[in-house]
Structure 1
C-alpha cells in the first residue's frame, strides 16, 4: 500500500461510544429531580432503546412509516437531526413532555460520551509519526466540544461533519472534503469506521478502509491499535 499521509476516523462507535440508554435516561431524570421506580426506569430505557431514540445508540427496531422521510435526512442538518430523534423519543411516554428535548440535549454533552480506551494512544501515535488526522461523521450537531472535553481535539486536524455540508456518508464528497482539508491524495488516506456501508464509501475515492467493531468501550479495549500497524 502507498505510504499513508492521513487517517480519517468515524466518531460514534469508532473513536467514542455514547453512554447506555439507561445511563442517558438516569442522568436526565436526576437533572430534573424526577424519580421513577427501578422497574419503571428499566422498562422506559428499554422502550427508548427499541425506539432508537438515543443518537449514537441502537437504530429503531421498527421505524414508524410517518418518520421514514425524516429519518432518511436526519444527518443533513441540525434541525432534521433534532426533529428525527425527538420524534422517536416521543413514541415512548415520559413523566414530563419536556424530557424529550432534555434527552436530546443530554446526548450532545461531553459527559454522555467516552473515548475508547486506546483512542488517545492511537491518535497520539499518529501525531508522533507525522500522520494527519480527520474526523468524518454523519451527525446533526457540533461534536468538537466532545473532543475538547476529553483531550482529543489536539490530535485532530480537520472535521467533516454531514450537517455542516448537507451531505452524508457514504457519499464520497464528504470524504473528499476531509482529504482536501488535509491536502492528502485519497490514495494515501486510510478511513477507519464501524459501518462498512457508510464508512466504506471512502473506497470510491481510492482510500484504504478498515473497520472496528461497534461495541461498548469496556468490551473493545484495543480495537484501534491495528491502525498504527498500517503506518509505514
Structure 2
C-alpha cells in the first residue's frame, strides 16, 4: 500500500491546528497579564501560536490546491518550524509546573491561575506537536509521490470477447434457368410445355336451306313409295 498526499486529510489537520494555535495565543495573553511566574514573561505560547496559525493557513491552502509543489514545500517548512516551537513551549510549561517557588506571589507559590495556564499550555503543546509531525510526514509523501488523485484506480469497461461462429455451407444443385423470352411470338408448341395445348373448336356451319329442303322431299317421296308398293310374298 502506497501512502500519498491526500488533500482532505491535510485540510482537516489544518483546521485543527489553526484552532489550537488561536487557543494557544489566547491563553498566552492571559498568562502574560495574570500569571505570576517569570516564565510567562517570555510569551512562548503567543509567538509559537502565531507560527502554528500560519501553518494551519498553509494547510487549508494546499488542501484547495494539492497539485502545487511550492505550497506543499512551504507547508513542510512551517510544519517543521512549528514542531520545534511547540517543543520549546512545552518544555517551558513543564519547567514552570516543576518550579513553582519562583512565582512572584508573596507566599512564593504559584496561584491557581498560573498553574492552570501552564497545564493548558502543556496539553496544547503535546497536541500541536502530534499535528505538526503528521503534517510534515504527509508533505514529504506529497513531494515524493504526488496527489492521491493521481493514484486512484481507473475503471475500464471491458468489452465481451467476440465469439467465433462457424458457418457450414452446403452446395445445392443449380436451379434450372429459364430460357430468355424471345421477342417474337412463341410457337404454340413451345408455349404450352407443361400443359396440353387447348383443343380448338371450329364453329359449325349452318346448313343451307335449299339442300335441307331437297333432302326432306326425298325422304317423303321414299316413304310414299313404300306405302304404295304392295308386299311381295312368295
Query: Which of 1 and 2 has higher RCO (CA within 8 Å, sep 6+)?
Result: 1
Report the TM-score when normalising by structure 2: 0.27
Which of structures 1 and 2 has the bigger CA Rg?
2
More strand by proportion, 1 or 2? 1
Structure with more of its chain in helix, by fraction: 2
TM-score between both structures, scaled by the size of structure 1: 0.27
